Amino acid sequence: MKRILALVFPLMAAACSSNPEPVLWDDPGMKVIMSKKPAPLPLSIAIAPVEIGFTEGEIRSSLKRKHVITKDVDEFRAEAAEILTKTSAFSKVRLLEGEAAGDFRKEMLQKAWEGGDDLVLFLKLHRYETTFEGNNGNYIPSLLLWIMFLFPSWWIADESYGAAVDLEVEVVSAHSGRQVARTTFSASEKRDLDDFDRGWSLLGILSVPSSLDEENWEKVSKVVSPYPITRVQAEFAKFFHEEFPKKTGTPEFPKNMAKTLGMFVGISRYDSYTLHNIKYASRDAEIMHAALTGEGEGKIAPRNAMLLQNEQATAANLTKAVEEFLMARARPVDTVILYFAGYGGFGPGKGGNEPYIMPFDYDHKTGLAKSAIPLSWLKDSVEKIAGGVVVMLDASFCGDGEGRSFSEMKQGASSGQLESLVSGRTRAAALFGAGAGEHALEFEDKQAGLFSFYLVEGLEGKADRDKDGFVIAGELAAYASENVYKRSLLQGDSQKPVIFDGGGAAQVRLSIAKKQG
């Protein structure tokens, strides 16, 4: 028909609709990316369902000249996944299941963490619409056809429509929950359509756009929206191959990716009759877990913390927690906090006599070497997993069976044997609740271990001696040591916590201090 019109009515032929759908992979920028064959970043990314940045009220109040698209919006993330996969932007790309409702982002971060992803990509549509821009003047050939030949002119593109897309892209660390990148892509397009493009409307130009129904608008969107979408997708691909890799090389990126992992263990009841019950050790771990874990700034995210109490804290479970929870998830930029409240032990090991932590199922028949956790193994394990390690032990290793202490030899660990926990580490600190030869006492008035009580009090802000708003490991150790010692003297004993610092770990931040009134 268009060729016939070109011969007979050149003006009419020029007014005919011609809207070939754009192809993303034909975009010059996309061809450059594909030709370079870039190496993927050594990071995995999970893509969350698309969020809608406009409300139902805004949709209902939109004018007849404007149509807000809400159909098939999740295609944006399927296409985003295809782009990132085909262009080899990341080592792994996958889609997260769920709905963009409720506590959506928390749920997505949890799922990404469970799946071992490094990053979560959040896509939010702030605008996705088509608009009627008016008649473009090509209705004149239409009128001529009607007048001269009584012939309908449905193929003449006499109506102008626009489409616009605003897409916000946010990349969040699945480890820390912090944002590592954010940008917005926007594009719009205007196209001339004929009656077939927008769908049948009986009165044509006389009633459009008021006569357009949902089906008409969907047809318009199908023709016009691919143009701005394709441009947004091309910019999206360019961002993840040019801008985002640059961000990963900045000092801020590892800081934003960094997280703190925590394992809190408290054992008040033991399976072996040779170990008497400890009143408050289980409660100490629970309170320490609560003090350091939460959703706020400066807290360990709940998904990154593990609490093991009493029967849960068997030797097998403790070993599994270190190997599968800590070692599997920690990265060189991360900090690991290990807290233990319970019996400390001392006895023969592979390298001679050494200190142990006593699990719930310690077996006095097989002895420490086979049924307890040597601190040397803990040291070797934590050396592999993180940039900063802080170990806090509300236990004692004096060997006389008193004050959270046990020995198979009636002999205690020396100061050097305790310090060996951090020797050779560049950023490891060990806070012992009691020095060599001392007891780890309990604070009856506060129903807590003496050391643990002052740890929690210090973390809340009292240990922030330089008033910079943060409590670091060194400050916490100094605060606990001073106050535990004073209180122990009132209880007729002497307990003075000590810190062994392996190369600057005393500077590790443990909490944000509350303002002291």
| Predicted confidence band of residue 53 (pLDDT cuts 50, 70, 90) | confident
- Is residue 47 scored above 80 in pLDDT? yes
- Is residue 179 scored above 80 in pLDDT? yes
308: amino acid identity, one letter: L
- Is residue 65 scored above 90 in pLDDT? no
| Residue 367 neighbours by CB under 8 Å, 6+ apart | 347, 348, 408
- Is residue 415 scored above 70 in pLDDT? yes
Provide the pLDDT for residue 16. Answer: 52
| C-alpha span between 231 and 28 (Å, rounded) | 11
- Is residue 19 scored above 70 in pLDDT? no
pTM: 0.80
**Angle subtended at Cα 249 by Cα 244 and Cα 254, rounded to the nearest 5 degrees:** 100
Mean pLDDT of all residues in 152-168: 77
Q: What's 16's DSSP letter?
A: B
**Angle subtended at Cα 129 by Cα 123 and Cα 130, rounded to the nearest 5 degrees:** 150
| Predicted confidence band of residue 24 (pLDDT cuts 50, 70, 90) | confident
| Predicted confidence band of residue 205 (pLDDT cuts 50, 70, 90) | low
- Is residue 50 scored above 60 in pLDDT? yes
Range from 51-55, 254-258, 338-342, 434-438 that averages highest in pLDDT: 338-342
How much of the chain, in percent, has pLDDT values that exceed 70? Answer: 85
**Alpha helix positions (H), 334-472:** 368-371, 375-383, 415-419, 450-457
Provide the pLDDT for residue 102. Answer: 76
pLDDT digits (tens, 9 = 90+) for 277-290: 899 999 999 999 99
- Is residue 45 scored above 60 in pLDDT? yes
Provide the pLDDT for residue 2. Answer: 46
CA atoms within 13 A on the CB side of 203: 7
Q: What's 202's DSSP letter?
A: T
Q: Is the omega angle on the peptide bond into residue 209 within 30 degrees of 0, that is, cis? A: yes
Label each residue of 117-178 as H, E or C.
CCEEEEEEEEEEEEEEEEECCCHHHHHHHHHHHCCCCCCECCEEEEEEEEEEEEEEECCCCC
Q: What Rg value do the Cα atoms of the chain yield, rounded?
A: 33
pLDDT digits (tens, 9 = 90+) for 108-142: 999 999 998 999 999 999 988 888 887 766 555 65
Q: Using an 8 Å Cβ cutoff, are 455 and 392 in contact?
A: yes
- Is residue 148 scored above 70 in pLDDT? no
| Predicted confidence band of residue 89 (pLDDT cuts 50, 70, 90) | very high
Provide the pLDDT for residue 136. Answer: 64
**Alpha helix positions (H), 225-278:** 226-238, 244-248, 252-257
Closest to 452 measured CA to CA, from 321, 286, 296: 286
Tokens in use for 100? 């963009």
Closest to 483 measured CA to CA, from 440, 451, 441: 451
Provide the pLDDT for residue 21. Answer: 72
Mean pLDDT of all residues in 18-27: 74
Please tell me the least confidently modeled range out of 200-214, 459-473, 477-491.
200-214
Report the DSSP pairing between strands 352-357 and 344-349: antiparallel
Is 488 strand, coil or helix? helix
Mean pLDDT of all residues in 180-203: 81
Please tell me the least confidently modeled range out of 83-97, 452-466, 493-507.
493-507
Mean pLDDT of all residues in 61-85: 79
Provide the pLDDT for residue 147. Answer: 54
Please tell me the least confidently modeled range out of 166-180, 260-274, 310-324, 406-420.
406-420
| Predicted confidence band of residue 201 (pLDDT cuts 50, 70, 90) | low
Range from 14-23, 54-63, 250-259, 309-318 that averages highest in pLDDT: 309-318
Closest to 69 measured CA to CA, from 204, 158, 159, 161: 161
| Predicted confidence band of residue 240 (pLDDT cuts 50, 70, 90) | very high
Q: Average pLDDT of the chain?
A: 84
- Is residue 157 scored above 60 in pLDDT? no
Residue 19 or residue 406, greater confidence: 406
